[in-house]
Amino acid sequence: MISVTVDGISVELEEGSSVLDATMAAKVYVPTLCYQGNLERFGACRLCLVEVEGFRKLIAACTTPATEGMVIKSRTPEIDSMRKTIVELLLLHHPLDCLVCDKGGECDLQDLAFNLKVTKDRFGYEETPLSYDKMDSVILRDMSKCVLCGRCVRVCDEIRNIGAIGFSKRGIFTEIGYPYNRLVHCEMCGQCIASCPVGALNSKISMFESRPWQIEKQETICSYCGCGCSFVLECKGARVVKVSSDESKKHDVNSGLLCTKGRFGYGYTNSPDRIKTPMIRKEKGEELVSVSWEEAIEFVSEKLTKIKDENGADSIGGLGSSRCTNEDNYLFQKFFRDVVGTNNIDNYIRGEHAPTLVAMEEMLGLPGVSNDALDSMGESDCIIVIGSNPSNTHPYVSLIIKQFVRGNGTKLIVIDPEKMELSRFSDSQLRVVPGSEVSLLNCMTSLLMKNSKGVSALDGGKKLFEHTSKYTTDKVAKTCGISAEDIETVVNTISESEKISIVFGERLVSQLNGTDNVKALINLGMVVGVFDDKKGCGFYPLRSSNNVQGCSDVGVLPDFFPGYERIGEAGSGDGLSAVSANTLPGSVGKNFYEMLDAALSGSLKAMYIMGENPTLAFAGAGKIVTALKKLDFLVVQDIFMSESAELADAVFPATTYAEKNGTFTNLERRVQKVNAAITPLFDSLGDWEIIQRLACKMGANYSYKDSGEVFDEITRTVSSYEGITYEGLADHGTFWPYNDNGEPAGSSSISPKIMKPALVEQGDIEKTSQEFPFLMLPVNILFHHHSGAMSSRSEGLNMLSSEAICEIASDDAKLIGVSDGGMVEIRSEQGCIKLKCNVVIGMKKGSVFVPCNFKDAPVSSLFGVTSETVGFRALPVKITTAVEG
Amino acid sequence: MSLSPELMSELEQIVSRYEQPAGGLLPSLHRVQEEFGHIPEYALESVARLVGVPKALAYGVLSFYTLFYTEKQGENIILACESFTCSLMESEKVIGEVERVLGIKAGETTADEKFTLYSVPCLGDCDKAPVLMINWKMYENVKKEEIASIIDTF
Amino acid sequence: MEETRVLLKNTRDEKNRTLSGYLKNGGFRAAKEALKTMEPSDVISIVKKSSLRGRGGAGFPSGMKWELCAADKAFPKYLICNADEGEPGTFKDRELLENDPFAIIEGMLISAYAIGASKGYVYLRGEYRTAGKRLELAIEEAKKKGYIGDNILGSDFSFDVLVYMGAGSYICGEETALLESLEGKEGNSRIKPPFPVNVGLWGKPTVVNNVETLCSVPHIVLNGYEWYRALGSGDECDGTKIYSLSGHVNKPGNYELPMGATLRELIYDIGGGIRNGKKLKAVFPGGPSSSCLTPDDLDTKMDFKSLALAGSMLGSGAVVVMDEDTCMVEVAINTVSFYADESCGKCTPCREGNLWIKKILERVRVGEASEEELSLIKDLGENMAGTCFCALGMGAPSAVLSLISKFRDDFVKHVQIKGCPKRVIVR
């Protein structure tokens, strides 16, 4: 530690601190424009000049190291005069449109001019006309206001590792620009806007919406992917007008960094498409009509009670929501088990990571969770990303991987057919044929076991080695469509690494062989030690939605009570039982796909869907719609009139996350507090409140006053949440589980209970045929999430991407007879979609990348499903030209 | 558009001389400009990828240095020194005459794309001021009256 | 007063550009001496004792620079020859680069040996194509004959040199901006500390020395520091200095004189006096980064200390002479325009300040500015000198400020008669 004084105030500082750090520690204001805490020292604006005893000249505080005993003065007449001249210079050609500038009221330059009393123009002001960028984008640049602090450039390069913008030219012609006036590589994260101290970078969708003093801010958690980033909703009255974040919050998941969806995807909250009132369809065939809450609840209660009385509780099923809070989901499952009396409940995990749940439970005795926090990957020597493009689905994961690769020299291996952002950062990418992963993983496992000596420690290791050795490199290279040499390179990279993390996503699990894929991956993980209780060793399934983790944690599963207590095992469900009025149903319920079969066969009569649109989100739209239509009674509780809601007999308007208090659990197992920024819009109610009303109408006596009370009950029924308090979540949340002392137990607490290698064989691989000669690879695009329900109703994201566009190799395009931008029809055995195509030069022939995020091109409809299959997998299709419309 | 395999392999060789690939950025840009007279966008893209620098940052570097050109240049490039000593020796008359003879202003290219004229800082030949540099060759103690005949030689 | 051609001794000998010619002129004797008979620390020691100071402008003691670099444990180390000669009025390095390329190689070899550098770069300004070609030929020849490469002259010392062409940027002559440029970036000066001797090229210890500095080294090694010190004016202003004399003198050119010759000796004895029998009005002893001097200062010694005492500086030794007809407003505009064009644009005062000084001066030129605005220039200039990020910005206003303070009448007259009293053509 070193001690210095600032304006007579003594402060202690870490070695290596700057003079500016010293002034901040002393809480003495020193103006800055180019300084930003999370960026490298820069020293460009020269405003932070201070006087240091013994120095000949004024020094820039931000770039000067503080040394023991320094005596610093932050203000003298000389300093003020120097600073004032600099501000005058910056203002000399800065437009003075503060009246209408979006930054007015929170502009650093405005504040500086005010504080330094810049009242006169000594030099001869030259007005520079506003020069908004012509680019059609959500980021609106006006370089006439730029003060060249370079924070945008540096944040784009140093933090985001993108480098989409740079300083160009020099001297007075210096500007922030991009090559040849074309913006490339930009991910539209908007971090540059957040960094801009003046009005040069603006969010187009926030402009002219509000003045800073009209804003109320509320910190909460993002509602898109499973990363669980913190951000601040800025609201004017009942309207969310902006998303911002605090980059100084180091303990948040995201340290204040946001992706494009997080920053620009808030519009859906105030969408005119919101369901405004409860609606019921009195008789089949009639229209839905708006009714009061009382009437709607009464109606649903009567119908469900009748169906239960006539057909038994198991004739009713429910689908919870991976987007709703833990409280919503907890009460949903409690309602079904306690009031309805069935375990027929499921959630979106069925459409995605159910194989992970199964495989991890069987081989490791763990619920399907990450075994460590995301930032632990920083300690990894090597990160393997398989079956996922996190840059699009989980941008924050991609962001930190890039930081670790560039900053720590972490090796990166990508195993996925898609060429992606991470490809640029990877040491190697194996672009495997989709569905052939078991072969590759078995082969890698055997090679790695051959390379290492400690393998015998693994119980069943010998058998695993014998089994996987059948998968020889040459054979596997052929199966997977890659070179044997590349496999060996990758294996060598892994062998040379001590601490390894594995990140995997929907493309590995959403396959015919999904469960086997995960099992083969776990084998590999066991061999390379990803389950060791060491920082840098981790196994990270990337769940697509914000609360897939929590939704399963609280028991919205047909085979588990809350806390992954397997139904049928001794003691299972005791916690829930203790807080329930009725005896819990004892037998395993139906999963979502089994419910569909039951609906089609007539044994399932009613369904209650909360915050989910299975018609688009799950594979197999055709079957899902038929099944839902076949039901006697369907309740949908949602924020939008979705395709599923349109089929419903009763529709409940729910609130969005922006109107909710409660908790989400992210993919790290971090339970975080969600805070309402606005009051419920229209006649909507929070999801758990609706359930409570209905449950009470059906005879229960639920009387939770707020989500905190529901959470308290969760901590009593979900063993892994025991010890967590609602109040304790206020800042950056906490990781489950807790130990007996009421503290987070750390990653060791979820070390595998068992280590049981599984011997899995390569199953069938989807093969193209003469009729369906192309292999469709479903992809998620950066600008939309999931089926697009929320993202497509957000103006900002629609500006960035408003229609589905598939990618076809140029050679294939010629064959099909379609040119770039033309329409194609993609047909499978089950259905067809129409969308535009982008002809890509240099792409491998025979496949087509299709985005799954657009309801106008519902990929869901291309799939047939059984209870064995999940998600959007690679599929043989036929492609023909099509006419628009 | 892409760079020829021969040029690419030459660039790879250039880049390999440096401790880190980024060190090869300026030398590669010099080589590309030698080939095309300027640096087209696709060439910058290839070079940026080769040296592992984001395109926008590579562009920033390219545009920082005045001897790199992003647009097509005249066949002959005239650099006219306007710096300290040359200006004392009335370089403005020389530059004015070049402008008159070519019918362009400094910074412009003639319509026939034969000449591009730049007024530039000191060329390091001040004892022979005023000077012009045409296609890297120095013309010293230049007098206004000689300009037309110098230009005629091209 | 006569020239003392040590460094420039062979520059008029075309054969000196070939290895055989250079050897005939006594080339590589110093390198042999150093590599075969001296320890690196001996070389550093002799250079320290010679009191050789950097000839690029800053005048930092070279031996100390080497010692600091040699003491750093990090490896590899780099040696850079700064051949980005760009200070207007300076043309001494070009003469050495074009006509004595092997001397540069030899100087680098000895320096690299002393500091333990395994690789060297000659950072050559982009316009010096002729020098670049000659240097590359020389390096190639030196490599063939074992003066560069592995186990040089039978020692266990290995060293490689690459020529690196700049691409048109004055600021890259500043050593940290030069390093940025070598790393493939814009020429933005770096924050100091750390200094290049510890954290230089690619983060490794690096010495950056000017061409003239490096060319001095073989002579010091060969003839001893006592000989070298006896050449100069003493008091750490030793050896010879090449002065680039230009402007309104009868015999402009590069002249190598003992450091400490007076301005009068250079301009009148050597340079043949002012052209056309005119009177001297002013002289910049170190290019436009220095402050101007007047006829009253003619007896000032041109060494680091004396010029600093006279309120100016030696800089790179660009002595630019102006006769009585020179319009100082034009000179001021010319110098500030240069800095406005060459500013890297990163820090506010340099980027904006040069531009606004230029704008005000342009108003002065046509008499549209008021007299008070001259003090505004002073205010701005002082602000720049006090706040700019690097030496370019800090030094940029010094010429203008000195011109206004010493030739205020020139400026005031423009304002009063709304134009140039000398009727200099305004472009």
Interstrand relation of A166-168 and A175-177 (parallel, antiparallel or unpaired) = antiparallel
Q: Give the pLDDT band (50/70/90) at residue C349.
A: very high
Q: Mark yes or no for CB contact B41/A185 under 8 Å.
A: no
Q: Can you name the residues that pair with A217 across neighbouring β-strands?
A: A234
Cα four-point dihedral sign A162, A163, A164, A165 = positive
Interstrand relation of A345-346 and A734-735 (parallel, antiparallel or unpaired) = unpaired
Residues of chain B found within 8 Å of residue A164, distances taken between Cβ atoms: 54, 56
Q: Mark yes or no for CB contact A180/B63 under 8 Å.
A: no
Please state the rounded mean pLDDT for residues A485-493.
96
Dihedral over alpha carbons B91, B93, B98, B104 (to 10 degrees): 110
Under 8 Å CB pairs connecting chains A and B tally to: 50
Cα four-point dihedral sign B112, B113, B119, B122 = negative
How far lies B62's CA from each of A146, A180, A805, C153, in Å? 21, 11, 34, 40
Here the tokens at position A732 are 């950056």
Q: Give the pLDDT band (50/70/90) at residue C423.
A: low
Report cis status (omega within 30 of 0) of the bond before B130: yes
A92 vs C352, C376, C387: nearest CB: C352
Among A717-721, A822-826, A868-872, the range scoring the smallest mean pLDDT is: A868-872
Here the tokens at position C413 are 């007259």
Q: Mark yes or no for CB contact A166/B44 under 8 Å.
A: no
Residue C425, pLDDT score: 43
Q: Average pLDDT over chain C, rounded to whole?
A: 95
Spacing of C-alpha C320 from chain mean position: 14
Residue C20, pLDDT score: 97
Residue A178, pLDDT score: 87
DSSP state of A745: -
Residues of chain B found within 8 Å of residue A169, distances taken between Cβ atoms: 63-64
Residue A746, pLDDT score: 81
Helix/strand/coil percent split, chain B, to 5: 50, 10, 35
CA atoms of A288 and A429, how far apart (whole Å): 52
Please state the rounded mean pLDDT for residues C10-31.
96
Q: Mark yes or no for CB contact B59/A168 under 8 Å.
A: yes
Tokens 């052209």 locate to C275
Here the tokens at position A411 are 């090796």
Q: Give the pLDDT band (50/70/90) at residue A854.
A: very high
Nearest residue to A340 via CA among A701, A582, A558, A551: A582
Q: Mark yes or no for CB contact B83/C246 under 8 Å.
A: no
Please state the rounded mean pLDDT for residues A46-64.
95
Name the C residues in 90-129 with CB < 8 Å from any B CB: 90-91, 93-94, 119, 125-129
pLDDT at C426 over 80: no
Residue A136, pLDDT score: 64
Please state the rounded mean pLDDT for residues A260-266.
97
pLDDT at C176 over 90: yes
Residue A511, pLDDT score: 85
pLDDT per position as a tens digit, C139-162: 999 999 999 999 999 999 999 999
CA angle in degrees (0–180, nearest 5) for A53-A58-A61: 90
Q: Complex ipTM, two decimals?
A: 0.96
Chains near A with 3+ CB pairs less than 8 A apart are B, C
pLDDT per position as a tens digit, A276-320: 999 999 999 999 999 999 999 999 999 999 999 999 999 999 999
Percent of chain B clearing pLDDT 70 (strictly above) = 100
CA atoms of C301 and C306, how far apart (whole Å): 6
Q: How many residues does chain A have?
A: 885
Residue A456, pLDDT score: 61
Q: Average pLDDT over chain A, rounded to whole?
A: 94
Interface of B with C (CB under 8 A): 17, 19-20, 22-27, 29-30, 51, 53, 60-61, 64-68, 79, 82-85, 87-89, 92-93, 96, 120-129, 133, 136, 138
Which residue in C has a C-alpha nearest to residue A80's C-alpha?
C383
What residues contact C334, with CB distance under 8 A and at least 6 apart?
A: B82, B83, B84, B87, C288
CB of C116 within 8 A of CB of C206? Answer: no
A169 vs B44, B53, B63: nearest CB: B63
Please state the rounded mean pLDDT for residues A94-115.
94
Please state the rounded mean pLDDT for residues C186-209.
96
Residue A451, pLDDT score: 81
Spacing of C-alpha B47 from chain mean position: 19
Residue C427, pLDDT score: 37
How close is the nearest chain C Cα to the Cα of B1, in Å? Answer: 24
How close is the nearest chain C Cα to the Cα of A796, in Å? Answer: 33
Number of alpha carbons in the 13 Å side-chain half-sphere of residue A448: 27
CB of A341 within 8 A of CB of A740? Answer: no
Q: Mark yes or no for CB contact C349/A85 under 8 Å.
A: yes
Pick from C191, C343, C388 the residue to mutate for testing the A interface (most A CBs within 10 Å).
C191
Q: Where are the beta strands (DSSP E) in C139-259?
A: 160-165, 206-210, 240-247, 253-258
How close is the nearest chain A Cα to the Cα of B55, in Å? Answer: 7
Q: Mark yes or no for CB contact C127/B136 under 8 Å.
A: yes
**Element spanning C69, H or E:** helix C62-71
Please state the rounded mean pLDDT for residues C187-216.
97
Using a CB–CB cutoff of 8 Å, tell me whether A182 touches chain C. no
How close is the nearest chain A Cα to the Cα of C336, in Å? Answer: 12
Q: Where are the beta strands (DSSP E) in A182-229?
A: 201-203, 216-221
Q: Mark yes or no for CB contact B59/A157 under 8 Å.
A: no
Say how many C-beta atoms besides its own lie within 10 A of residue A709's C-beta. Answer: 14
Residue B24, pLDDT score: 97
A168 vs B41, B54, B63: nearest CB: B63
CB of A332 within 8 A of CB of A552? Answer: no
How close is the nearest chain A Cα to the Cα of C327, in Å? Answer: 24
Q: Give the pLDDT band (50/70/90) at residue A867.
A: low
CB of A529 within 8 A of CB of A694? Answer: no
Most confident of A203-212, A741-750, C102-111: C102-111
Name the C residues in 293-352 with CB < 8 Å from any B CB: 318, 320, 322, 326, 330-331, 334-335, 338, 341-342, 344
Residue A255, pLDDT score: 93
Cα four-point dihedral sign A695, A697, A698, A704 = positive
How close is the nearest chain A Cα to the Cα of B44, in Å? Answer: 9
How far lies A805's CA from each of A388, A621, A778, in Å? 20, 20, 12
How close is the nearest chain C Cα to the Cα of A41, in Å? Answer: 8
The b/e string for A430-460 (b: 16+ C-beta within 10 A; e otherwise) is bbbbbbbbbbbbbbbbbbbbeeeeebeebee
Q: Give the pLDDT band (50/70/90) at residue A371.
A: confident
Q: Which residue has the higher pLDDT, A456 or C407?
A: C407
How close is the nearest chain A Cα to the Cα of C348, in Å? Answer: 5
Q: Mark yes or no for CB contact C389/A173 under 8 Å.
A: no
| Phi, psi of A597, deg, nearest 5 | -60, -40
Its pTM stands at 0.94
**Element spanning A239, H or E:** strand A239-244
CA atoms of C161 and A758, how far apart (whole Å): 59
